Structure 1
């Protein structure tokens, strides 16, 4: 008897199946390892492709007994594929869910994502299935990319524009958000031609290399112009009634003051209790060509979802900013002030700050932002500590100052409070303090840092934000001497002529009202400079700070740093 010829070298086990299952099995019986394993995998895949689940299951049982530990991930993929042929997508997803795809080869990952997508599609979850295919797209080449792209399009084409808009968010990749936004436009049969054209041009500008460009063959190819805005009619969206009416009135007066002498028209729309879709339609019918506002995060998110066909300067910062070329965000954010403090303290030469914040939602949020910004600046974490209330301030300060260690790595946004069981071994002692406190808390807490350390020792440089501002007309408080505070220049007698006018018109306006007035003033005054700032023009001085614009359209403020001395705020630390 003549010995059988050895089979050809085994191809990739996740390559195209183009032979009958029995031929692959014959090759497996004649091949040495590891080729034999690859041929067996191909034989099982071929049996599944032929609809012979019984044979595939028998061969999988045999393979399971022979497989080595590194081959277990491949067995899980085959088990998931078998479950799909048995119309059991739930079992397939239970098998695939815990699988660590980093153990797979590139081709194995491609196969894994296809199995996930098919299982989700069988479960009537087209959005999740599309996400798996979108991730798969980046790994493919040649004709496979086109087939995968068509599969994505086929999944998303029946979905409503509303569901596609709601699917967009920061948890998705840019490619996924691009698909969802594009299909929300293409699936919307109620759009006016001009609005559809604007939205598609905006999408092209945002996603110039997206595979979805293939479905815009008949759409205008030019990108949206990015010249300076000179609106003729500005629609201002504010909650002019309801619980925020007083704050909206301050912003409105700032807008009106900045608008003096301008030729454009202003129209104010009350957002309180209004549906954003209906309000936007009213804005369009009024002939507006620019939107200033809205003020609340949920309103900004609702307007974003409508993909408005005109430039927008929103007065808040939602969690997800999709980077639309004509959408801008402006907010007086305590988190942004914390990031500014981290930058300033690094520039001042500090290397191991202590963050002391109240143990509540705002305190944790602001402390997290400072910590993340400090990590970016310095490559090392800040020390985060929390106080519970006035009754435990002394013990909280003692624990904070005793915690001179560096925290272990943590997931983004996770705060690790100091106290019992804190880490140890920081290479540098605490050299500065950032306090997330209001004015009353600052007055109470600051003396404890002197008392706990040593009243004879020099005070640790201490920094606060605008929440700790103390007006100059209050009695001097020596315990605050040396405190450094960041706030908008407007508060420190910036623009004296405008300040005199404001004080004559609103003599009883408090500090919060004045900040919101400056916010509204800057928002309107900055409109003609938005595009140039987004393209990298130098920051411009304004009432609320030195303003620049990020590539995503977020207005960023550099604040003015002042030092408290005997009842007066004096320039210092800039």
Structure 2
């Protein structure tokens, strides 16, 4: 090749190299220009934070990442969710720094309570149960939103379950149930059922009491029936039908086996009635009066009566004896504690108990009948409302009995009127005038609750009597009534008519005693039997027991009605109205409690005459 040719090739190579270099430089310039002229799109903002105690549905690191990107307000919620997620995954170490940060940042009361709940959750997750109870107790439940309260109750239940307290754990879960929805509620219900299914029927019956919610007592009642291995299939069906009828919307309905038919409303026609009374001991005289009433009512009947002495007897062994005797109905026992003991046994025999215990489980075959002064006070409240009174004053002794009766009146009054009565308590004869003055001046704010001062009850606090006092219910015996009633006339304007005043059987003054004009106009409620009801029966009683006093006669009529009403119990419970009886017009509540409508009479110059 010639020298000229070589030089041409070199020149061409150089040109190509320069071209490639220029292209590279141009392309670099273009890319640099693009880089400086076009901005990078920002990353997407995190979604708004949900409630701190909403359901955990993501891994913990995702919550933590969202917390790092969020604003301060939302970051707190995301960190709470991250801590909960770590604990749910069984990791108690990783969330420690997050918890420290939450403690520093917690500003509002709700955030501070959230940290307190997480502290308890972290301690529980680390199996350090000793301090959890104190941590939970420090939480102010009153300000917790629904999701936080649901989480709090879940922790409480878990702690109680670990402490081998399944009944208490279910109480927490039952309270939690209404705060949940959907699958969470279904899971919570299954947890309740699992815990209770492992308990004995006796333990579940003992767990029922007036301090529980209706829903909790219904859970315990249902599971006591389902867990009772001694029940025959027919007996279990009957009791479950009863439970279902009383609790139609209860969450436990899903655990009922198929039920055939409805709760029977046919009349009880027992062939053998067992009567449980304290026929010996300190109450033998009272029991004898009831026994005589039962025997008198039983005349001409074909059923068999058997009397069992409850004095000093264990209720379990006594109930077994009743079953062995072949009884198919029980009347009694008489004492509250005996009735509660019989309830614990879950009797499969229908029962008409002769007292009303603090808690009355709703069972279709169990009834409660009593002559309690509290029940008479409730009847007085219903009657006074029907008479058009709207602001009664209750004047009662500052004793336990006086306060119980006054409270029962007030409860019944609120059911009628939706507002509380005015309650005033007196201390004794020495201060009665000042006590009456305070009571009648009770339209102002009340002083502290004590004997001799006003103690209004009811929700919402005291705002003063919305209406002037228009009637008085006195919780007094006959002696107290005679002494106190004139003071109400003395303290008020003597020209004003006496406030309509009502009392119950404790204030009964027998007809025939010397007239007491100061009692004129007094309205008294008592059983019709006392006011010469059933004259033919009274003639027989006076012939057989000529020296019987008022107390004996009341107990006699109590026993008489207890036996007479048995065939009508189921019909009355179904809403059949009332039936006339010696102790009053009888009706039965849905819980099986017999209620008496008393006869109201007015005192006039030594006689009791039909009143309003």
**Partner residue of 1:78?**
118
Q: Distance in 2 between matches of 1:315 and 1:506?
A: 23
2:588 maps to 1:552? no
Q: Distance in 1 between matches of 2:332 and 2:272?
A: 14
Distance 1:341 1:175, change over 3 A: closer
**Partner residue of 2:527?**
488
Of 102, 116, 120, the match for 2:156:
116
1:109 CA drift (Å): 3.0
Q: Distance in 2 between matches of 1:460 and 1:506?
A: 40
Distance 1:62 1:512, change over 3 A: same
Of 193, 204, 217, the match for 1:177:
217
**Partner residue of 2:483?**
444
Q: Distance in 1 between matches of 2:151 and 2:328?
A: 49
Distance 1:206 1:73, change over 3 A: same
1:268 CA drift (Å): 1.2
- Does the residue aligned with 2:95 lie in a helix, a strand or coil? helix
**Partner residue of 2:308?**
269
Q: Distance in 2 between matches of 1:227 and 1:420?
A: 49
Where structure 2 has 5 or more consecutive residues not aligned to the other structure, the ranges are 1-39, 457-461
Q: Distance in 1 between matches of 2:277 and 2:522?
A: 36
Q: Would you say the 8 A contact 1:384–1:418 is kept in 2?
A: no
Q: Which piece of structure 1 moves more, 528-537 or 510-519?
A: 528-537
Q: Which piece of structure 1 moves more, 559-568 or 453-462?
A: 453-462
User: What TM-score does the superposition give when structure 1 sets the normalisation length?
Assistant: 0.91
Once the two structures are superposed, residues 343-376 of structure 1 have per-residue CA deviations (whole angstroms, 9 ceiling, x without a partner) of 2223333333322222211111112222232333
- Does the residue aligned with 2:94 lie in a helix, a strand or coil? helix
Q: Would you say the 8 A contact 1:433–1:462 is kept in 2?
A: yes
1:296 CA drift (Å): 0.8
2:283 maps to 1:244? yes
Distance 1:372 1:207, change over 3 A: closer
Q: Distance in 2 between matches of 1:194 and 1:279?
A: 24
**Partner residue of 2:70?**
31
Q: Would you say the 8 A contact 1:237–1:291 is kept in 2?
A: yes
2:513 maps to 1:474? yes
Alignment of 1:57-206 (within 5 A): 57-69=96-108, 70-101=110-141, 103-191=143-231, 195-206=235-246
Q: Would you say the 8 A contact 2:286–2:555 is kept in 1?
A: yes
Of 541, 547, 558, the match for 1:519:
558
Once the two structures are superposed, residues 362-408 of structure 1 have per-residue CA deviations (whole angstroms, 9 ceiling, x without a partner) of 11111222223233333443332222222333333333334343659
Once the two structures are superposed, residues 233-280 of structure 1 have per-residue CA deviations (whole angstroms, 9 ceiling, x without a partner) of 111111111111111111111111111222221111111111111111
1:298 CA drift (Å): 0.7
Q: Which piece of structure 1 moves more, 271-280 or 388-397?
A: 388-397
- Does the residue aligned with 1:55 lie in a helix, a strand or coil? coil
Q: Distance in 2 between matches of 1:455 and 1:372?
A: 32
Distance 1:246 1:357, change over 3 A: same
2:433 maps to 1:394? yes
Q: Distance in 2 between matches of 1:420 and 1:158?
A: 49
Q: Distance in 2 between matches of 1:16 and 1:438?
A: 61
1:65 CA drift (Å): 2.1
Q: Distance in 2 between matches of 1:14 and 1:296?
A: 49
Alignment of 1:338-353 (within 5 A): 338-353=377-392
Larger radius of gyration: 2
Q: Would you say the 8 A contact 2:472–2:502 is kept in 1?
A: yes
User: What TM-score does the superposition give when structure 2 sets the normalisation length?
Assistant: 0.86
Q: Would you say the 8 A contact 1:258–1:524 is kept in 2?
A: yes
Distance 1:302 1:465, change over 3 A: same
Q: Which piece of structure 1 moves more, 483-492 or 365-374?
A: 365-374
**Partner residue of 2:350?**
311
**Partner residue of 1:301?**
340
Q: Distance in 2 between matches of 1:196 and 1:424?
A: 51
**Partner residue of 2:20?**
none
Alignment of 1:207-246 (within 5 A): 207-217=247-257, 221-246=260-285
Q: Would you say the 8 A contact 2:351–2:367 is kept in 1?
A: yes
Where structure 1 has 5 or more consecutive residues not aligned to the other structure, the ranges are 409-413
**Partner residue of 1:411?**
none
1:562 CA drift (Å): 0.8
Q: Distance in 2 between matches of 1:378 and 1:46?
A: 51
Q: Would you say the 8 A contact 1:235–1:283 is kept in 2?
A: yes
1:532 CA drift (Å): 1.4
Q: Distance in 2 between matches of 1:352 and 1:291?
A: 42
Q: Distance in 2 between matches of 1:350 and 1:559?
A: 18
